[in-house]
Structure 1
Amino acid sequence: MNDEFYNQGLEKAQQKDYAGAIAEFNRALQLTPHFPEAYLQRGLAYYDSGAIHQAVSDYTEALRLNPESVEAYYCRALARVTLKNLPGALSDVESAIRLNYNYAAAHNLRGMVRRKQGYIQDAIASFKKAAELYLQQKDKENCRLCLEKIKQLQPPEKPVVEQQISTNVPIISTNAYFTQLLEKAEKGDTREAIADLNWVLQADPQDAQAYCCRGVVRCKMGNYREAIADFNQALLLNFQDAVVYRNRGKARSLLGDNQGAIADFNQALQIQPQDALVYVGRGNAYRAMGNYLGAIADYTQALQINPDDAQAYYNRGIAYTFLEEMPSAVADYQRAASIYCEKEDWDNYHQVLNSLQKINKSHPESRHQKYNLLRQRVLRLVGGYWEIAQRLIEQKRDYYPGMTDEWYLQQVIDDLERDRGR
């Protein structure tokens, strides 16, 4: 009867009926409490159903009953990786290797753990051993995957060789590894960067930093919805970093969800209040909503943090043009152009020059000075939202047709100041 419950549990687990499998293993264990294989298999069912702590508990009991169980050590190592207990995972996988040195999957898992800990050369050595064992076992696919991992971790233009250094010294940190991938994307190799990150996530679906990094690359590719999905997953895995909120805010803004973007930028600033990029991003969202004063305030804050931020100058110049504060716009455009010129960023340099030319052609200050001053006063009274000002002006046009633009602006100013008791 005991074997019958145990076999039924195996069958239900194979059918992915994990609750049913757990129930059968429970019955088997009621009849035979000292049944290590039942604990191991119930642990696997718990793991597959997402109950990771229960899985670890069952693997531990299986090891108490059978301290030589290679599979129990390996499975507990996998579960501990999911729980981010990397020292515990390393201890377990090394126990599995001591019991069976030819266990290719254990060497592969050890490489993954060491990579996550930042010991890249040690990770390479483990992946290399796993590849050799997979090759001996004629498992060409897993051998190829291990070789790919080695290639991706190895610094460029350096062959995979044994290093005469201590494996306890991190050669490349995990952060540096992801930085290399982002630099690769920045140079235009976005597809290769995505392929590398897909491998990382295939090896460890719980790597929150990899989701964040892939989201950043997807933003660069213009795949904003997929990027948001990656940022969401990073947050679900408790990767609370300003870069997640900043980049998700950017993606949401580019999809037109400016209110959601502002919420993300606010969250990023709570984590990292001196991040100039967040202020620029929030300024862009405010500007898209027509809140030009709010946008200018954010660009100004960004420039206080980073006075050489050409993009902040350029974006603030755009906001000033909407307010028709042309001298301020021209000054910002000229400063942005100078910075781009110094950096030899010719594409952005010419874009700024084109904006300057448009101002010079379409906004001669002498003709519009009075109108501009009135317009600025209206905008300040409505908090920078030109859409509100336009509605008020149109109401005046309906009541008093045929008057000049300056007259309508003055009437709106008078009404707003009277309502505020000025």
Structure 2
Amino acid sequence: MSKKPPRRPAHKQQPSADTGDKYYQAGMQCAEKEDYAGVIQNMTRAIQLSPELGRAYYQRGLARYLLGDAEGAVADLADSVDLNSAAIASFMELGEMAGEEMMVRMAGPLLEEIFEACFEASLIFLEMDEYKLALAALNQAAEIFEDEPDVYMQRGLAHKGLNNFAKASNDFNRALRLQPDNKMALFQRAVTYRAMGQFDKALVDFAELEKAAGDISPFYVERGLVYAAQGQWETALADFQKGVELDDVNFGLPALMTSMALAQMGQTEDALHQWKVFVILNEMFAPPHTEEALREIGKIYPPMTEAAEKLLAVLASEISSPDNTEG
């Protein structure tokens, strides 16, 4: 199917009649009241009576997720994706035999419901870093509605999480073709180009982003990383410092990048000052975790690997200096 009708929440769809329908409907009434324990109880009974009811697994998984049961949520949502896969295959076979128009007339509402379940499950998988499960769900969503930009945006993130950068950039490209003003897709494509070492392409995307969305901290952090990868440390430092000025959602990351860049440039006193600003916001980097945490940052952001070592040397020198030694 190529065109998707306007979205409707999955729980508003009416399930087909089956032996678990009574409990499915009761579970949805509980969901309306945010009684998630009731959702789980009723969906469990629906599944016992109708084990093939993929949407019941989805609703139970969502309820478990909302109650903080991450493991149970992943298991249920994965089962819902598996069951929906068989349903999608059946509908596609129907489309081949009877034509797409007939398939839409007969199964359109149910396909839309399955799409919503797959897409929403993928968002939960992404939040929990379950990238392979997210890919499976998003592949199904794309099979149902192939022109939905959000699917390719999220699938690009799943590929990126698995370090499949070429596939990620392809999905971000497709999202942008379908929705040219999608700034998040443009941002993620720029970040992906940086990870691929395609710095010129990354900077072109960042230049376009700066016109419309250059007033957020993550923009400057990510562009600064491109300059750092190119060895342009003064330019990188300027971006990291701008990120510090704008930081309201980035939890001190610009301050850390600034400290590392200053250490890389040999400006030790300024590096120490900025480090202290950062540690106030992020106690997990305080001793005794400093060395491990900084080296992990170097792995996550390869342009900063050497800078992380330089900052560790600065911190070690500070600890061993006479002013910080008792006796």
Q: Same fold (TM over 0.5)?
A: yes
1:153 Cα offset (Å): 6.5
Aligned pairs (5 A) from 1:269-308: 269-307=210-248
1:256 Cα offset (Å): 0.7
Q: Which residue of 2 aligns with 1:249?
A: 190
Q: Which residue of 1 aligns with 2:141?
A: 200
Q: Which residue of 2 aligns with 1:337?
A: 279
Q: Distance in 1 between matches of 2:17 and 2:242?
A: 52
**Aligned counterpart in structure 2 of residue 311 of structure 1, from 249, 253, 256:** 253
Q: Secondary structure at the match of 1:274?
A: coil
Q: Which residue of 1 aligns with 2:11?
A: 121
Aligned pairs (5 A) from 1:86-235: 113=5, 116-122=6-12, 124-125=13-14, 128-129=15-16, 147-148=53-54, 151-152=57-58, 156-157=62-63, 181-235=122-176
Quickly say closer, same or farther: Cα 1:249–1:199, change in 2 above 3 A: same
Query: What are structure 2's unaligned runs of at least 5 residues?
Result: 20-49, 65-75, 81-112, 296-307, 322-327
- TM-score, structure 2 normalization: 0.58
Residues 269, 275 of structure 1: 8 Å contact kept = no
Q: Which residue of 2 aligns with 1:266?
A: 207
1:119 Cα offset (Å): 2.7
Residues 317, 330 of structure 1: 8 Å contact kept = yes
1:204 Cα offset (Å): 0.6
Compare CA radii of gyration and give the structure with the larger one: 1
1:255 Cα offset (Å): 0.9
Quickly say closer, same or farther: Cα 1:301–1:357, change in 2 above 3 A: closer
Residues 291, 312 of structure 2: 8 Å contact kept = no
Deviations for 1:156-215, whole angstroms, at most 9, x for unmatched residues? 13799xxxxxxxxxxx9x999967634432323111111111111111111111100110
Residues 215, 228 of structure 1: 8 Å contact kept = yes
Q: Distance in 1 between matches of 2:275 and 2:246?
A: 19
Residues 276, 303 of structure 1: 8 Å contact kept = yes
Q: Distance in 2 between matches of 1:319 and 1:358?
A: 13
Quickly say closer, same or farther: Cα 1:129–1:268, change in 2 above 3 A: farther
Aligned length in residues: 228
Query: What are structure 1's unaligned runs of at least 5 residues?
Result: 1-77, 83-111, 133-143, 161-171, 367-422
Q: Which residue of 1 aligns with 2:71?
A: none
Quickly say closer, same or farther: Cα 1:349–1:332, change in 2 above 3 A: farther
Q: Distance in 2 between matches of 1:280 and 1:286?
A: 10
Quickly say closer, same or farther: Cα 1:274–1:150, change in 2 above 3 A: farther
Deviations for 1:308-336, whole angstroms, at most 9, x for unmatched residues? 63221121222212221111222223332
Quickly say closer, same or farther: Cα 1:235–1:326, change in 2 above 3 A: same
Quickly say closer, same or farther: Cα 1:266–1:153, change in 2 above 3 A: farther
Quickly say closer, same or farther: Cα 1:313–1:272, change in 2 above 3 A: same
Q: Secondary structure at the match of 2:16?
A: helix
Q: Which residue of 2 aligns with 1:65?
A: none
1:274 Cα offset (Å): 2.5
* Partner AA of 1:358 in structure 2: A
Quickly say closer, same or farther: Cα 1:204–1:286, change in 2 above 3 A: same
Aligned pairs (5 A) from 1:333-412: 333-341=275-283, 350-352=292-294, 355=309, 356-361=311-316
1:277 Cα offset (Å): 1.2
Q: Secondary structure at the match of 2:193?
A: helix
Q: Distance in 2 between matches of 1:154 and 1:267?
A: 43
* Partner AA of 1:157 in structure 2: A
Q: Distance in 2 between matches of 1:226 and 1:130?
A: 40
Q: CA RMSD in A?
A: 4.0
The higher-RCO structure (CA 8 Å, 6+ apart) is 2
Quickly say closer, same or farther: Cα 1:273–1:330, change in 2 above 3 A: same
Q: Percent identity?
A: 18
Q: Secondary structure at the match of 1:117?
A: coil
Aligned pairs (5 A) from 1:21-60: none
Q: Secondary structure at the match of 2:225?
A: helix
